[in-house]
Structure 1
Amino acid sequence: MADAYSRDLERWIPRLIAVWRQARRKGDGPETRLTPQEIKEVGAGVKQLSHGLTRERQLAGAKYMDDPRLLGAYLLFYWPVSYAQARQALGELPNRPRQVLDLGSGPGPLAFAALDAGAAEVTAADRSKPALTLARALAAEAGEALATREWDPTRKAAPPEGQFDLITMGHVLNELYGTGDGVTAPRAALLEQLLTQVKKNGSLLVMEPALRETSRALLKVRDVLVGKGYGVRAPCMFRGNCPALLKESDWCHAERSWPMPRVVEELARAAGLHKESLKMSYLVVAPKGEAWPELPRGRLFRIVSEPLEGKGRQRYIGCGPEGRVGLAMQDKHRTEKNERFFKLHRGDVIAVTETEPKGDGFALDDRSEVRIVAQAGRGVPPPSPEEEPRPTAPTPQGSDPLP
C-alpha cells in the first residue's frame, strides 16, 4: 500500500520546504532538504509539539498553530505523517469521494491526501488563519484547487454548508470538549451532526492519535454511534460494543509501514522521536440508515496486534464478527495452506478454518487454512456474485464477544 502513494508524498516534500521558507522570509537551502541549522531549529519545535500533544497534553485544544514556530514544525514533520495516515485510511473507502470537507484541517494534509487520491473538490476548514494561509500557499505551489473556510468548533460554529461524499477529521476530535468522562456525548453529537452532511454511500473518516487515552476515547464515541444505529465501514467488523473497552488496559490502534521521507527522519532524530511506522486510531462511519458492509463468507478476523511470538508458536489478537480473540498456531503445524499466518501484519483481514477454542481464543493446527481477505490499508471486499453474504444479524449490545 505504501508504494501507491510514496511518489506523491515525495513530491510534497520540496513544496512543504518552499512554503515554510517563504513564510519565514529568510534563509535559502537545498530544495529537498533542510540545512543543519534548520533541522536544529525545527527539531526543537517538533519536540515541543510532541511533548505537548502526547505526554502532558497541555497543547491539546490550544491554538498552537497560531505560533509560527510550532506551525512550521507541524508542517515539516507532522504534515507528512498525517498525509500518509490519511492515504492509508482512504484506501479502505468503498467509493472514491468527489466532494470532500476536511474539518480541523490545519495546513491541509488530509485535504491534499484526498485530492491526490482522486477527489475533485476539497474544502479545508480550520480556526487557525495562519494554518489556512499555509494550506492556500501549498495549493498554489502544487497547482491544486483548494477552497478554505474558517471553522471554530470551540465557539459552536456550524461546519461549512453542503453535502459531501467524505468528511474528514484528522487528530481533531481528541482536542475538543476537554478531558474526562463527559466528553463522549458532545463528541458523538458533533459526529452525528456531520453525518447529516454525508451523502448516500459516503463516509465520515475520523483519525486520532494511537495513544491509549485518545484511542479508547474514540472507541467510546464509536459505541455511542453504533448504539444509535450507525454502521461502521472500517476497521470494525464486530457490531456490538467494542470489546477492546472491556479491560482498562486494552485499546485498539492501527500500525502501518510507510515510505518515511528523509526530512521526517532527520527531524525525528533531532527531536529524539521514532517514526519508523505509522500509528493511529481511525473510524470510518456510514451515514444514518445505511447498513454495515456485507462481508464475504468465512470466519473473518482483523489482526489488531503485532506478532506475539512465543516459544515454538505464533500468536496474534484478532477482532471480527464474533469479537476480539487470541489466535495462535504452533510452528509444527505450519503447512502450505496456513503459511500466511506466520507473516501477518496488523490491519490484515484473514479468513480461517478448523479452529479449536483455547484460552482466550482459538488454536489453529495443520488442518487449518489461512487466507488473506484484505491487506492492511485496503477495504474488505464484498461477497462475490457466486457466494451469499455471511449472516448479518446484529450482536446484542454489551454482549460478551468471547467464546
Structure 2
Amino acid sequence: MQLRSNGNPMDTFDKSTSPIDLTVLSRNVSRLSGLLTRDREALPAAYLKDPDLRQAYLRYFVPANISKIHLPLRELSLHPKGLLRKDRLKVLDLGSGPGTALLGMMEFFSHHDHKPVLDCTALDQVGENLKDAERLFTEWRENTGMDASLRTLRSGVDRAAARLAGDPFDLIIFSNVLNELFHGNDERTEVRRNFLLGLLNQLMDQQGSCIIIEPALRETSREMLEVVCGLPAQTAQFYAPCPASGLCATLENARDWQHEEVPWDPPEIVREVDQRIGLRKDALKFSYVVLRKDASSITDVLGLDAWRVVSEPLISKGKAEFYLCGSEGRRLVVRLDKDWSDLNQDFGGLQRGAFVGFDGVLDEGKRLKVVKETKVIVKKV
C-alpha cells in the first residue's frame, strides 16, 4: 500500500526554493544524512540545535517521517476491540523534534472514519524544536480539520516520567529517539530497557499503546528489538509488526534485521535535493514495534496462522523465496517455478510487510514449500 499525504498539509514543505538556497539546503541534508547513517558515532547530542541541520531536517526529513506512523496506527485501528476508537485520545510524543509524529497522526485520523479529539503533549530538550512543533501543529490542524490541542514541555526524554508522573497516556510515541538515548553507554541495551520499563509503568494507560519507530539500519533495528524483547510481559507485549511473541527470531542471526519499505510519493523539494546529492527517497524505510500491556495482538485481526513477509523477493533460477516471521519464528518459504498454479499465483506478488497464510504448505524442516496444491492467502489489512 502506498502512503500518501493530503495535498494541503504537505504544501507546508513544498515551497519554492531559489537555486542558491537549494544548494545550501542540499549540502546540509547531505551532512545530516551522513550523521544519521554512516557517521552515527559523530552525531552530537541535541543536534537539531544547529540551525542548518534543523532546516535540513524540516525541509527534507520531516515530510517523509510524517507518514511512517500511519502503518502502526492502521494496524492498531483494525483490532476488533476498537483500541483507537475513544472519543478523546491523550498522546505523548517523546523527543518530539518539530512534532513530526503528531502531524502524521493528525493526517491519519483526518482520513479515518473515527476522528477522536487529540490531546497532544510534545516533549523535547530543544526549545527551537518546540517552537517549530507549535507552528506546524497549528498549520496541520487547520489543514486537516482535526480537533486537536498541543502542549509543549522542554525536557530531556530521560526526565519525562518525573515531569509527567500521574498523567497516563493512551498513546506514547518514540519516533527516531530510542537509538539516541544513552548512545555512548556500553550497557545501553539494559539501560534503555530499564528506562522504557519505568516510563511505560508510570505513563502508559493500562489500555494504552506505545509506538516505537527507528531508522531502517541493522544496528538501530536490532538494538530496538534487543530492548523490547527483554521487557516483562506484564508491562509490554508485542502487538505488531509480527504475529509472534517472546524473543524475536530476527535476533538469532547477527546479520539479520527487520524493517518496512513502503512506496512513497515525495514532494518536489525532496526530489530536487535527491537529484543534487544522489539520494533516492521514493520509499519510506523504517523499523517499528507496537507494545501494549494487555494481550491484544495483530493476530486477533489476522489469525494465529498469519505470516509477515520480512524480506524482498529472493529470485533465482527456477524459484522464488521469501523470509517470513510468525508464531513459529522466522522461516524461509519457496515456490519452484514449475509449481505455479491458480491456487498459489499470489505468491509471486508478495512484498515486504505483507501478511500471508497458506493452506497445504509443506514443512521441509529448513524451509516451507509451496506446491501446486498449496493455496496462498494474502491477508488484507
Are 1:46 and 2:29 matched, yes or no?
A: yes
Residue 153 of structure 1: CA displacement?
Answer: 2.9
How far apart in 1 are the matches of 2:67 and 2:136? 17
Shift of 1:139: 2.4
Which residue of the other structure, out of 2, 9, 12, is the alignment partner of 1:12?
A: 9
C-alpha distance in 1, partners of 2:5/2:64?
14
Q: How does 1:358-397 map to 2 (within 5 A)?
A: 358=364, 360-374=366-380, 378=381
- Relative to structure 1, is the Cα distance of residues 343 and 368 closer, same or farther in structure 2, using a 3 angstrom cutoff? same
Residue in structure 2 matching 1:131, options 129, 132, 140: 129
In 2, distance between residues paired with 1:367 and 1:281? 35
Q: Is the 8 A contact 2:320 2:348 kept in 1?
A: yes
Which one of the candidate residues 90, 97, 116 is aligned to 1:99? 90
Aligned residues of 2:75 and 2:298 also touching (Cα < 8 A): no
- Structure 2 unaligned segments of length 5 or more: list them: 78-82, 110-115, 143-147
Q: Give TM-score, length-normalised by structure 1.
A: 0.82
**Other-structure match for 1:68:** 51
Deviation at 1:79, TM superposition (A): 0.4
Larger mean CA deviation between 359-368 and 148-157 belongs to 148-157
Distance 1:290 1:145 in 2: 30
The two structures have a TM-score, normalised by structure 2, of 0.87
**Contact 1:215-1:251 within 8 A present in 2 as well:** yes
Letter in 1 for 2:54: L
Specify the alignment match of 1:184 in structure 2.
189
* Aligned partner letter, 2:169: F
Deviation at 1:57, TM superposition (A): 0.7
Contact 1:167/1:204 (8 A) holds in 2:
yes
Q: CA separation in 2, counterparts of 1:369 and 1:137?
A: 52
1:15 is paired with a residue of what secondary structure?
coil
Deviation at 1:180, TM superposition (A): 6.0
Is 1:299–1:353's contact at 8 Å kept on the other side of the alignment?
no
Which AA in structure 2 matches 1:146? Answer: L
1:341 equivalent in alignment to 2:347: yes
The residue identity in structure 2 corresponding to 1:110 is A
Query: In the TM superposition, what is the alpha-carbon distance from 1:337 to its structure 2 partner?
Result: 1.7
Q: 1:159 to 1:263 in 2, by over 3 A?
A: farther
* Equivalent in the alignment of 2:145: none
**1:334-393 per-position Cα deviation (integer Å, ceiling 9, x unaligned):** 22221111101111111112222336321111110111123xxx4xxxxxxxxxxxxxxx
Structure 2 vs 1, CA of residues 71 and 339 (structure 1 numbering), >3 Å: closer, same or farther? same
Q: Which shows bigger deviation, 65-74 or 153-162?
A: 153-162
Aligned to 2:281: 275
Structure 1 residues 59, 76: closer, same or farther in 2, change over 3 A? Answer: farther
Identical-residue share of aligned pairs (%): 32
What is the distance in 2 between the residues matched to 1:158 and 1:151?
10
Q: Secondary structure of the equivalent of 2:187?
A: helix
The CA deviation at 1:253 is: 1.2
Structure 1 match to 2:291: 285
Unmatched tracts of structure 1, length 5 or more:
18-31, 379-403
